[in-house]
Chains A and B, each alone.
Chain A
Amino acid sequence: MTSSNLDFIPILLQLVFVTVFVFFVIGLSHYVGPKRHSKNKDVNFECGIKQYGNARIPFSVKYFLVAILFVLFDVEVIFLYPWAVNFRDFGFDGLWKMVMFMGLLLVGFFYVLKKGALEWD
């Protein structure tokens, strides 16, 4: 049974309906809901005590480095999945291509190790 583009119109309708519904409900609660403000009520909740200073402080770059390296090597793993599924069909030719791909990324990994980007302390 071949499906044409027209068969996906219900999904588009569903998307439109969901968007309209969400905005409608939020708008309704905004306009119909009660608004009772007082000076202290609108202040951020800080367990009843006064708020001091800014919440934004500098933090160590090691968190960023670990996160970004994870993303890079995770994308590499994503490329490995189709090869894993079609392993037999790709044969030795596929193995050689994947080894070249992973080799290039391994060079990058050695650079990261030598530079000490994975040092936590």
Chain B
Amino acid sequence: MAENVKMVEAPAGFAGEGFFATSLDKVVGLARSKSLWPLPFATSCCGIEFMATAASGYDLARFGCERLSFSPRQADMLMVMGTISKKMAPVLRQVYEQMAEPRWVLSVGACACSGGIFDTYSVLQGIDKIIPVDVYVPGCPPRPEQIIDAILKLQELVKTEKMSRRESPEYKALLASYGINVY
């Protein structure tokens, strides 16, 4: 049974008798990546696939996404799953803006990534028109394995992110390009 369990490797550091020294960025990155609490912004069919992913068969909780929160104040990653209409766009933007840093966005499904097959007057053609996105998941709808793959890719992003990124001018410029002015 022990062969099937994949253990997390310790980050690169100096180990000695009873202690281990590494950089804070690596430890914080490891801790954050293994405990990303999602905000399931589930709108349509991709939301149903998410429900299957979070349920016992595919079990999202084993990747650290144990506590789903519908409040942005208490969530790390925003999973946008489903068609976002232009009427829903300001709501999505407000929810994203009210999330506490550090925050990441997962765009699940074709509709969230680019509007999907609904190239029409009422559907927003991709959520990256209003909020910055970290990982895109194609599919209509994507299978639970693909959603899990996206979360694993996001975990890699989170693990290697520096703690000072959120104060950096590049990040502030990114947010300013979406009209979010941080002071």
Contact = CB atoms under 8 A, between A and B. Distances in A.
* A, B in one complex: yes
A36 B73 CA distance: 13
A38 B91 contact: no
B101 A49 contact: no
Contacts of B90: 48
B183 A34 contact: no
Q: With a 10 A CB-CB cut-off, give which of B94, B167, B181 has the most chain A CB atoms.
A: B94
B97 A47 contact: no
Nearest to A35: B183
Contact of A48 (B73, B94, B181): B94
The interface size bin for chain A is: 10 to 19
Interface residues of B, number: 19
A39 to B, nearest CB: 7
B7 interface: no
Contact of A45 (B72, B93, B175): B72
A5 interface: no
Given A43-B98, A45-B71, A45-B73, A38 B180 contact: yes
Give the interface SS of chain B, mostly helix, strand, loop or mixed: helix
A66 B91 CA distance: 40
Interface string A18-51: 0000000000000000101111110101011100
A37 B71 contact: no
B92 interface: yes
Contacts of A40: 94, 97-98, 180
Interface string B86-118: 000011111101100100000000000000000
A49 B91 contact: yes
A45 B98 CA distance: 7
A50 to B, nearest CB: 9
Contacts of A48: 90-95, 98
B181 A39 contact: yes
Nearest to A43: B98
Interface in B39-82: 71-73
25 contacts: A34-B101, A34-B166, A36-B101, A36-B166, A37-B182, A38-B180, A38-B182, A38-B183, A39-B181, A40-B97, A40-B180, A41-B97, A41-B98, A43-B94, A45-B71, A45-B72, A45-B73, A47-B91, A48-B90, A48-B91, A48-B92, A48-B94, A48-B98, A49-B91, A49-B94
Given A38-B97, A48-B93, A48-B98, 6 more contacts: A36-B101, A36-B182, A38-B181, A41-B97, A43-B94, A45-B71
